[in-house]
Amino acid sequence: MEERLVVSSSPHILGEDTTSKMMLDVIIALLPATIAAMFYFRSSAAFIVALAIITAVLAEAVVQKIRKQPVTIKDLSAVVTGLLLALNLPASAPWWIPVVGSAFAIIIVKQIFGGIGQNFMNPALAARIMMTISWPEQMTRWVAPGVDSVSAATPLSFVKDATAVPGNAPELMDMLFGNIAGSMGETSAILLVLGGLYLVYRGVISIKIPAIYIGTVAVATLLYSGFDFYFMTYHLLGGSLMIGAFYMATDYASGCVTPKGRMIFAFGCGVLTTVIRLFGGYPEGVGFSILIMNSMTPFIDRFTSPKVYGEVQRQDA
C-alpha cells in the first residue's frame, strides 16, 4: 500500500487543460473573423496579420533568449497576442504599425512584467491604445471593404453626439456580417459572437463577463436614447464591443479573480464604454474602458475576496 501512495506538493488535482490547448481554442475561435477580414480587406489584411504574428513570436523568443529563460513560443500565447493586435488594426495601416505594436505588446506589456500570467494589462489592447495615441492618423485611417481602399467612416462615427441613428449610416445587416469600415476584426459582429460561444462551450471563458459587459452597454444606450432599440443595437454591433467583451475582457492574467470581482469588472467596462462613446472625445471606448478596469483589478479583488476561515477582525487596544 505504501508504494501506491505518492507524496507531492499541491496542487494535488490536475486538469487536462494546458496553456497551448486554451490558446489554440482562442485561435480557432478567431479564425472566422480573421478569414472575414481577409475576404473584405484582401491581401492587405493577410499581410498585417502575418506581420503581427511573426513579430510577436520573434519578440517573445528573442526576449526569453536574452533573459536566458526557456523559450515558450510553443504555448501559442504570442500567436494569440499578434492575431488579436492585427484584428484591432485598420487594413490601411503601414507595415511598421503591426511590427511596432506586436513588439510593444510582447516586450513591454508582457515580458517585462514576467511573461504569461504576470501582465496586468491585455498586451494587444495596450498596444492598440499606445499606437492610437502615438499615431492617430495611421490608426484611424479607415477604409471600406474591397480592393480600392477607399476611405470611409466607421458606423460609430455616425452616432457620435447623437441620440438616434441618421439615415445615411451603414445598415445593421452590413454591421452584422462585416461589410463596413473599421478595424479588421471588429467588422463582423456575428462571427466574433460565434467564436466567443465556441470558447464558452469549450470552457475557456465564462459567459458572465461578456454577457454583463454587453448587457450593461445595451441598457445604458437604451436609456440614453429614450428606448430607441435601433440606436441600442447600433452600439452593440458597432465598434470593438464584441471582440473586447469575448476575447479581451476575459483575459485571465489582467482580469479579476473572484467571481463577484469579475461581475464588477464587466459592469465597469460596460459603463465606461458607454460613457466614453456618448460623452468622450472618441467614438469608441472599449479599449480605454478595459485598460482602466485592468488597472483597478487589484482593488476589486481585494474588496471582493472571501474571508479566510478562522480570520477575525483586528481590534485596537
Radius of gyration (Cα) for the chain, nearest Å? Answer: 21
Q: Chunked in runs of 10, what are the mean pLDDT values of the chain (317 residues)?
A: 65 72 95 92 92 96 92 92 94 94 95 85 92 92 79 85 86 87 84 95 94 97 94 92 94 89 96 94 90 93 79 62
pTM reported for the whole predicted model: 0.89
Whole-number pLDDT of residue 188: 85
Domains and CATH numbers, the chain: 19-304 (1.10.3430)
3-state secondary structure 258-305: CHHHHHHHHHHHHHHHHHHHHHCCCCCCHHHHHHHHHHHHHHHHHHHC
Whole-number pLDDT of residue 77: 93
Whole-number pLDDT of residue 217: 97
Whole-number pLDDT of residue 237: 93
Nearest to 33 by CA among 87, 106, 101: 87
Whole-number pLDDT of residue 120: 86
